[in-house]
Structure 1
Amino acid sequence: MKKLLIISILAAFSTIMSAQQNNFQLSSHILDVSKGSPVSDVTIRLEKYDQQTKIWSFIEEKKTDINGRITDFLNSEKSNLGIYKLTYFTADYFKNNHVESFYPFIEVVFQIKDQKHYHVPITLSAFGYSTYRGN
């Protein structure tokens, strides 16, 4: 058990350090609060809102790693100012765990207003979720 915990901590640290070295401005994380564990292999789609056309444009789509994280959205070498949406496709996660859930996906809309790092995590259970701006 200790060995697994140490490996998990090292993997998380490595993932975070890799994202910082590559200068990515946006990251996300999913934690299943009913189990107290990260949610891996969940697809998260990133889109950007065009305020003039009122249309969402696809940016990219990735899967969470073993620690429930995606650390490399939006390369910070360019300006990423604007309104974005992360869509967390949670239905398969619950289905694969034989759990009935209320939300087939979760959309989180937020605004990047500067060059700082933005971390948008969600805490998740079958019948609820919460989000906040992390660091």
Structure 2
Amino acid sequence: MSGTRTTASVSTHVLDTGVGRPARGIAVRLSARPGRDAGWRALGGAVTDADGRCADLPAPPEGTTHVRLDFAVEAYAEKKQADAQQDAPANRDSGAVGAFFPEVAITFAVEPGEHYHVPLLLSPFGYSVYRGS
């Protein structure tokens, strides 16, 4: 059976629970390491599409034990806020720009041959993740 289950696979999507829609345009970077004491190796990334999904995340290499997904949320939040202010400028009284969480890093353990779908659910002042299917 060697060679058929040599690596894990990873997928993700992002939902903006504040508006009840997929979050389009968020850059996602995937990194991996071959043990908890090893350094991270950046493997590549993708940008969420209209459905909030990343179509082409790279496969972690053989020997990977941990994966990290880094979501660049700040640009998405700034665009969303700018669009909201354009539609209703009196709606915002703080004048703050950006995101409370400008970046979200999710780290999880993986095993060879398993698929890991790890969605990110965003809200203005919080987020959650889970292992999906």
Instruction: Say whether the fold is shared (TM-score over 0.5).
Output: yes
Percent pairwise identity: 31
Aligned to 1:69: 53
Aligned to 1:45: 29
- Please say which of residues 82-91 and 64-73 is displaced more in the overlay: 64-73
State how far apart, in whole Å, the 1-side matches of 2:33 and 2:15 are: 26
Aligned to 2:78: 95
Query: What is the RMSD of the two structures over their aligned residues, measured on CA atoms?
Result: 2.2
Q: Secondary structure at the match of 1:59?
A: strand
Higher relative contact order (CA 8 A, sep 6+): 2
Q: Secondary structure at the match of 2:57?
A: strand
Aligned to 1:108: 106
State how far apart, in whole Å, the 1-side matches of 2:99 and 2:48 are: 19
Does the 8 A contact of 1:80 with 1:112 survive in 2?
Answer: no
Relative to its length, the structure with more strand (as a share) is 1
Structure 2 residue identity aligned to 1:126 = P
Does the 8 A contact of 1:80 with 1:115 survive in 2?
Answer: no
Give CA deviations for 1:30-55 in whole Å, capped at 9, x if unaligned.
00001000001110000112438631
Does the 8 A contact of 2:27 with 2:45 survive in 1?
Answer: yes
Relative to its length, the structure with more helix (as a share) is 1
Does the 8 A contact of 2:46 with 2:56 survive in 1?
Answer: no
Aligned to 2:65: 82
Computing the radius of gyration from Cα coordinates, the structure with the larger value is 2
Give CA deviations for 1:50-92 in whole Å, capped at 9, x if unaligned.
438631111002101110001432448x636420100000000
Q: TM-score, normalised by structure 2?
A: 0.74
State how far apart, in whole Å, the 1-side matches of 2:54 and 2:34 are: 24
- Please say which of residues 48-57 and 117-126 is displaced more in the overlay: 48-57
Q: Secondary structure at the match of 2:13?
A: strand
Structure 2 residue identity aligned to 1:133 = R
In structure 2, the gaps of 5 or more residues are 1-7, 82-96
Aligned to 2:130: 132
Structure 1 residue identity aligned to 2:9 = Q
Match of 2:38 among 54, 78, 92: 54
